[in-house]
């Protein structure tokens, strides 16, 4: 058996010298330590860790919002921005009290809104006198009706007749009122009756009804007739006649006559008298 008393470990050669290798207590030779191998272990472990980390990084989906903390804070930031912009923008909707600033009605800082104009009452009584044209006045001399006549004209009652006249000093100009007293049910029938009567009366006196009676353009419920005839005293006369409904549905006529060359004035007399015609107990009061 070789002597192992003088055996020693040579660190430079990494082996036993001067005898045989001593055996361990169990009869086995002590295991030789390999230092370079031990140094490779940490390197291998490090490579494994790097490989695992790289694999995890590849398999993980890319983040669009940065870190988890950034993703969680982004909604909070958006909410804060929305709240801030809402606070900065004034509300366009007024509060329930009508104040855009949300205050109560006693402390409303808004500028006072102009009050809406009052609606006209369609049933309010019209002031017939105030609507008379210049040079006209309201006459109620008949006692039961009124109308606008030229200033200074005189009233002449019809007595038992249904005709009433207004005229200046002579009869070259006049306004005549006819009350049909329920004989006709419409202005059209009343006008047809008048046309027949006029033609019979003035047919031999240069009677000319031009184009005959027609519906008034501005008021389809009114009929108008313009005619001319030769008067024995005043010469060629021009006449305008209107038939219309009065208060309560009665049918009336207004006729204005004057010299032919003054036909425009005669037409105005008829229009003003007919448009202002009223019954005293209702419309003229």
* Digitized pLDDT (tens) for each residue of the chain, 285 residues in all: 445 456 676 766 666 666 555 555 455 455 554 555 556 667 777 788 777 777 655 555 554 444 444 444 444 445 545 555 554 555 555 555 555 555 555 555 555 556 666 655 443 444 444 577 889 999 988 888 899 999 999 998 765 567 889 999 788 999 999 999 889 999 999 999 999 999 899 888 889 988 889 999 999 999 999 999 999 999 999 999 999 998 888 999 999 999 999 999 999 999 999 999 998 766 675
> Per DSSP, what are the bridge partners of residue 31?
none
Beta bridge partners of 9: 16
DSSP state of 276: H
Q: What is the pTM of this model?
A: 0.54
Closest CA to 166 of 277, 251, 263: 277
- Tally Cβ neighbours within 10 Å of residue 236: 14
d(CA 225, CA 240): 6
pLDDT of residue 65: 47
Query: Where in the chain does DSSP place strands (E)?
Result: 8-10, 15-17, 136-139, 145-150, 154-156, 163-167, 174-179, 214-216, 219-231, 235-245, 251-259, 278-279
CA angle 159, 161, 164 (to 5 degrees): 75
> Which of 187, 195, 253, 172 lies closest to 220, judged by CA?
187
| C-alpha distance from residue 49 to each of 24, 36, 58, 102, 267 (Å) | 38, 21, 14, 64, 116
Q: What CA–CA distance (Å, rounded) separates 119 from 98?
A: 23
82-104 burial: b if 16+ Cβ within 10 Å, else e:
eeeeeeeeeeeeeeeeebeeeee
pLDDT score, position 132: 72
Fold of 129-279: Protein Transport Mog1p; Chain A (3.40.1000)
Q: Within a 13 Å sphere around the CA of 12, how many CA atoms are in the beta-carbon half?
A: 1
CA atoms within 13 A on the CB side of 136: 23
């Amino acid at each position: 058996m070789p002597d192992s008393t003088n055996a020693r470990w040579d660190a430079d050669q990494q082996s036993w010298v001067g005898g045989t290798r001593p055996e361990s207590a169990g009869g086995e030779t002590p295991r030789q330590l390999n230092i370079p191998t031990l140094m490779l272990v940490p390197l291998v472990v490090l490579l494994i860790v790097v490989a695992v980390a790289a694999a995890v990084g590849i398999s993980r989906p890319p983040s669009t919002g940065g870190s988890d903390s950034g993703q969680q804070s982004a909604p909070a930031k958006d909410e804060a921005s929305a709240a801030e912009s809402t606070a900065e923008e004034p509300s366009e909707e007024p509060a329930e009290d009508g104040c855009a600033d949300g205050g109560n009605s006693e402390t409303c800082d808004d500028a006072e809104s102009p009050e809406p104009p009052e609606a006209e009452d369609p049933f309010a009584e019209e002031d017939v006198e105030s609507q008379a044209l210049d040079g006209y006045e309201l006459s109620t001399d008949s006692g039961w009706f009124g109308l606008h006549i030229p200033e200074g004209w005189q009233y002449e009652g019809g007595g038992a007749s249904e005709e009433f006249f207004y005229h200046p000093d002579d009869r070259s100009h006049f306004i005549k009122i006819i009350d049909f007293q329920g004989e006709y049910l419409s202005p059209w029938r009343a006008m047809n009756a008048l046309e027949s009567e006029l033609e019979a009366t003035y047919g031999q006196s240069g009677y000319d009804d031009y184009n005959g009676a027609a519906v008034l353009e501005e008021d389809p419920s009114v009929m108008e007739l313009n005619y001319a005839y030769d008067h024995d005293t005043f010469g060629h006369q021009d006449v305008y006649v209107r038939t219309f409904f009065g208060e309560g549905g009665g049918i009336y006529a207004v006729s204005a006559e004057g010299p032919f060359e003054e036909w425009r004035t005669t037409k105005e007399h008829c229009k003003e008298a007919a448009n202002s015609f009223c019954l005293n107990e209702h419309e003229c009061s």
